[in-house]
Amino acid sequence: MIVLWTLLPQFLLTLLAGAITWGITKLGTRFGQPESSWIKPESILLLMGNIIALPQIIICFAMLYIFIYNSYQIHILPLWVFALIIMGLGGIILGIFFIRAAHQVWKATDKE
């Protein structure tokens, strides 16, 4: 029962990531893609599908923390510090993606 409760959030987050990516793909094919698209939809889908990995990483660390403490009675990095690190890295990745997308649009508008 404990294994079920620890794996259930991971499974639900994986299903959510798949559903988001599948839904956006279906919407994209339904409405069509303009030929002069400045931003590649593949990169957006890749980011949207993988952004769900951030809570999965935090949940995985929480399970690892519980198992290590139960086995060896030692504390590793506190969960809130790890969560802040992961959220910070996610923010940096989103920032880089946003800057690249803005740069692509800026270059495309200069050519016109």
Does the pLDDT of residue 18 top 90, yes or no?
no
**Looking at the 3D structure of the chain, how many domains does it have?**
1
Q: Which of 66, 45, 63 is nearest to 55 (CA)?
A: 63
- Residue 92 lies in domain: 8-30+38-111
In a domain, 85, yes or no: yes
| pLDDT for res 77 | 92
Tokens representing residue 75 in the block: 């504390």
In a domain, 94, yes or no: yes
**In a domain? residue 43:** yes
Least confident of 2-6, 74-78, 97-101: 2-6
Can you tell me the distance from the alpha carbon of 83 to that of 91, in angstroms, rounded to the nearest whole number?
A: 12
42-96 per-position pLDDT tens digit = 677 777 777 888 888 898 899 889 889 989 999 999 999 999 999 999 999 889 9
Is 1 within the bounds of a domain?
A: no
Summary mean pLDDT of the chain: 83
In a domain, 3, yes or no: no
